[in-house]
Amino acid sequence: MQFRPLSVPDAFEFSPRAFPDERGLFIAPFQEDAFRNAVGHPLRLGQSNHSVSRRGTIRGIHFADTPPGQAKYVYCPRGSLLDVIVDVRVGSPTFGRWDAVVLDSRDFRAMYLAEGLGHGFVALEDDTVMTYMCSEPYNPTGEHGITPLDPALGLPWPADIEQIISDKDRVAPTLAEAEEQGLLPVYADCVAYYDKLRSAPDRSP
């Protein structure tokens, strides 16, 4: 498996090798050795999520209080989507920057975003499935969002697809408003938490 860092620090794209034959296809979307080499610590799994979306559905931009936050390793086992990561960490050198990668059921690329980063996606075709492996269980009191339509961010939603957005996401604050309201993670707190994870004892067999 190959990996590369994205332009938003502490986010990575993973590209697994596919093994097709006359029976079909085999692929391993998550491989721990590659993950450890990229991130510097094991993937912690607190919850797995599965969503199915119509074409044009935008979910996000979501993030969680950090620590502990909620890191995500995501891939698309059916359909295709444009996955977007936004640096919402106050004090980050790349605060407000975003990066985006197409995830689909042809290449099976995956994305990892560390705790404190914002995440969203748009489904590019009907019945698109997103699989999330999350480091922490859902915590409704610690979950937040910013609107995916924030004009200051200018996120790359396709102009030729009719958008379907939940009322909750549509009326969420902009990045600037969320900063004013004290909702955003602090970069220094996030970095300290990443360092803590990397220095934890290795409990693998």
Residue among 50, 62, 138, 194 flagged as catalytic: 62
The verdict on whether 62 is a catalytic residue reads yes
Which listed residue (75, 132, 138, 144) is catalytic? Answer: 132
How many Cβ atoms from other residues are within 10 Å of residue 55's Cβ? 18
Structure tokens at 151: 């004009």
Longest dimension (CA), the chain: 57
Which burial class, exposed, middle or buried, applies to 50 when counting CB atoms under 10 A from its CB (0-12, 13-18, 19+)?
exposed
Residue 190, both tokens = 């996030």
How far apart (Å, rounded) are the C-alpha atoms in residues 181 and 192? 23
Tell me if residue 119 is catalytic. Answer: no
Query: Which one-letter DSSP state was computed for residue 43?
Result: P
- As a whole number of angstroms, the distance between CA 18 and CA 20 comes to 6
Measured in degrees and rounded to the nearest 5, phi and psi for residue 138 equal -60, 130
Catalytic residue numbers read 62, 132
